[in-house]
């Protein structure tokens, strides 16, 4: 997994509540288990008209936001089914941070597992960011996970206090560590545990 430390990029506003995973990546794009290529289906029903042509009114089709790396969304973002393709599609499109007042639990967890930073901020802070990136299209923000700060275009922190994030998940993102690499990094501890178990319970086979 690619480490997430400091992200600077255009932030796009998506002022919709209850954006579900089928809206993030519709079901017809779930036929693959690959993490690449899913960006083409991101927000497909929002981005395209029924005839398949791009909808110029949708934010990610607008020139100022088409290369967005940060998404500012509404409450309960990522609700619906527990498809891991949703953060895959965001990443493949180029978005690696979503800021919203709240997230659905499974989507929230899936983001951390796949290198996307979901930031749940107080509603007033989200509304301030939403207004900033709406009123000034193409505005670039910086999300500094090391310092837990969001910086404005001038490089100054936008809020007085660091944003909240679970310490273990923060460390994993900073180091680019997923669940597999976390397990592998604890190999010595696992071997010691198995040796202790084999000594205490010799009648139990711990390995084939």
Taking Cα atoms as reference points, which of 113, 126, 130 lies closest to residue 166? Answer: 113
Q: Which of 105, 86, 103 is nearest to 43 (CA)?
A: 86
Q: What does DSSP say about strands 70-73 and 6-14: parallel, antiparallel, or unpaired?
A: parallel
The model's pTM is: 0.87
Which pLDDT score is estimated for 165?
Answer: 97
How much is the average pLDDT of 33-41? 91
Render pLDDT for 61-96 as a digit per residue (tens, 0 to 9): 999 999 999 999 999 999 998 899 999 999 999 999
Q: Are 128 and 158 in contact (CB under 8 A)?
A: yes
Asked if the 6-177 domain carries CATH number 3.20.19.10, the reply is yes
Break the chain into its structural domains and give their ranges: 6-177, 178-208
Confidence grade of residue 190 (pLDDT, cut at 50, 70, 90): confident
Q: How confident is the model at residue 182 (pLDDT cuts 50, 70, 90)?
A: low
Q: Are 145 and 9 in contact (CB under 8 A)?
A: no
pLDDT of residue 186: 66
Asked if 111 contacts 98 with a C-beta cutoff of 8 angstroms, the reply is: yes
Residue 32 DSSP SS3: coil
């Amino acid at each position: 997994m690619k480490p997430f430390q400091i992200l600077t990029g255009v932030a796009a506003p998506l002022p919709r509540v209850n954006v579900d995973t089928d809206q993030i990546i519709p079901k017809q794009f779930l036929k693959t288990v690959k993490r690449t290529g899913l960006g083409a289906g991101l927000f497909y029903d929002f981005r395209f008209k029924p005839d398949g042509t791009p909808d110029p009114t949708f934010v990610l089709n607008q020139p100022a936001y088409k290369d967005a790396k940060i998404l500012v969304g509404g409450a309960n973002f990522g609700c619906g089914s527990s498809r891991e393709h949703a953060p895959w599609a965001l990443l493949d499109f180029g978005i690696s941070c979503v800021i919203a007042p709240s997230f659905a639990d499974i989507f929230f967890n899936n983001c951390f597992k796949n290198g996307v930073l979901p930031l749940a901020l107080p509603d007033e802070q989200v509304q301030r960011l939403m207004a900033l990136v709406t009123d000034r299209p193409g505005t670039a923000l910086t999300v500094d996970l090391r310092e837990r700060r969001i910086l404005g275009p001038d490089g100054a922190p936008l809020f007085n206090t660091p944003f909240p994030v679970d310490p273990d998940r923060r460390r994993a993102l900073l180091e680019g560590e997923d669940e597999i690499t976390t397990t592998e990094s604890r190999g010595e501890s696992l071997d010691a545990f198995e040796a202790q178990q084999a000594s205490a319970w010799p009648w139990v086979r711990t390995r084939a």
